[in-house]
Amino acid sequence: MPRRNRPSSSRASTSLRQLLDNLDNDQRRSQDLLVSLVFALRNFTNLHRFLELVPVVVSRLVGVDGALIVPFQPDGRVWRDQLQAVPVEPSQDLFRCLIGFQPGESAGFGTDDDQVLALDRLIQCCLPKAGLFATSVVVRGRCRGRLYVFDLSSRIVWTDAHRRHAQLVADLAGVAIENDQMFRDARRHERVDRQLSTGAEIQAQLLPDHCPIIKGVDLAARCRPAFQVGGDYYDFIPMQPELIGRRRECGRWALVMGDVMGKGIAAGLLMTMLRGMLRAEVLSGLPPDRILHDLNQLAQEDLAQSRRFVTLFYSDFDPLTYRLRYANAAHNPPLLWCYKRKSISRLDAAGLLIGLQPEANYSLSEIYLAPGDVLLYYTDGVTEASSLTGDRFGEARLIRALRRICRSGGRSQVILDTLFERLDQFVGANRQPEDDASMVVLKVPEAIALSNMLV
């Protein structure tokens, strides 16, 4: 008996060794397939090429005839351009069914469990005799597709190993889909950033890059947008642009400060449009109230369509007489430091927002500046700036800061820089401003001889 059992034991040992060898080979083959898919995930930047590999790898891992991946777009619709399946020829009927599947065209399809179940039934109807296993492609808790593994010839038994392999491939497909979405978002943001940078460059070129030389006054100006492109606007416009050199310095100038309601690109575009209209109006030589009246009529249609309005303070200055005429379209009234009286007053005049109604009238006022006087034009981004506690900088705080600075003397640039320093201290270091902030400082130096002025 023992002798008869030896051949049988030997055959059993050989079969066991072969089985173990086959298992080892299967494991190595599975590992190689998964490694190749991970390598493709790391190196492919084309989602379509990666998804082509998914059905091939998963069908070989599980040892079945075919596989199908149905990705969903970010809005949940079936991503028809990215459908992939093997074998290719028999899968054409599957593709036709999926392309004609109307519910898959609806946004939110992939997030509706009932709709996804209807998709599973559709696939099963297209493969009536096949053994079918399905799993979801999940990314950050959202279903971004379905992976189907099927055998056309028989109803195979799905082992835990088969399910793990299929799910692992589905997870890798989810990573690829997410990477593609992030890559698309990054490229879109890059395009937007480039457009914003271009817009910011254009706007920076439209705002004066330096203050002009105007006889008898010292100027300083700065615009600090909350975003790359802002809606604040200031300008110095010669009313006789044909003059050059000293004659231009002694000629009349328009000094303007405005603000388009809103922020960002839309406000910047409207500001650019307004600038062109205003510069054309200045050439007419009309007084400030007529300039604002005509500008309001010209800009009415464009502003009405955008549902935005513009505040604008317009003034013209004559260096020979030191007379400043002005009109106001509901802008923050500039602050005037009177050197002689050591007090601050507001330059205001009645007038509606630009673009509010077609027929709007504006009041005209005028003053004569004296040596030592300081005029501060500003936008509401200065007074509306908030601190960490939520308090507003406010006009009263701006008046107190301007009074202290003017009493200390100094040129217009020193006054401007100190005001922005006070504003930054109030808002807090490294905080993103909520609105554009612009200021223009005009000062009549104390050294100007009274005999040269008309008072």
Residues 205-240 pLDDT 10s: 566 778 999 999 999 999 887 654 456 889 999 998
Domain 14-184 shares a fold with domain 207-452: no
CA torsion sign for 125, 131, 136, 137 is: negative
Which residues are paired to 110 by β-bridges?
A: none
Which span out of 24-33, 135-144, 170-179, 343-352 was modeled with the highest average pLDDT?
Answer: 343-352
Mean pLDDT, to the nearest integer, of 118-129?
89
Q: What percent of the chain has pLDDT over 70?
A: 79
CA torsion sign for 365, 369, 375, 377 is: positive
- Report whether CATH 2.40.50.140 matches the domain 14-184: no
Residues 364-399 pLDDT 10s: 999 999 999 999 999 998 998 888 888 899 999 999
Question: Which residues have a Cβ under 8 Å from the Cβ of 418 and sit 6 or more positions away?
Answer: 401, 405, 410
Q: Label residue 245 left, alpha or beta by phi (over 0 means left) and psi (-120 to 50 means alpha).
A: left
Pairing type for strands 335-338 and 343-346 reads: antiparallel
* Residue 147: closest CA among 82, 100, 102: 82
Report which residue type is found at 294. D
Angle at 70 between CA 64 and CA 76, to 5 degrees: 155
CA dist., res. 270 & res. 304, Å (int): 11
Q: With b meaning 16 or more CB within 10 Å and e meaning fewer, what string describes 399-415? A: bebbbebbeeeeebbeb
Mean pLDDT, to the nearest integer, of 38-65?
80
Q: Which CATH architecture has domain 207-452?
A: 4-Layer Sandwich (3.60)
pLDDT, position 14: 53
Q: Within 13 A of 351's CA, how many CA atoms are on the CB side?
A: 33
CA dist., res. 146 & res. 119, Å (int): 9
pTM of this prediction exceeds 0.85: no
Please report, for the chain, the start and end positions of each structural domain, with discontinuous segments joined by +: 14-184, 207-452
Here the tokens at position 105 are: 């065209």
CA dist., res. 267 & res. 258, Å (int): 12
CA dist., res. 232 & res. 271, Å (int): 7
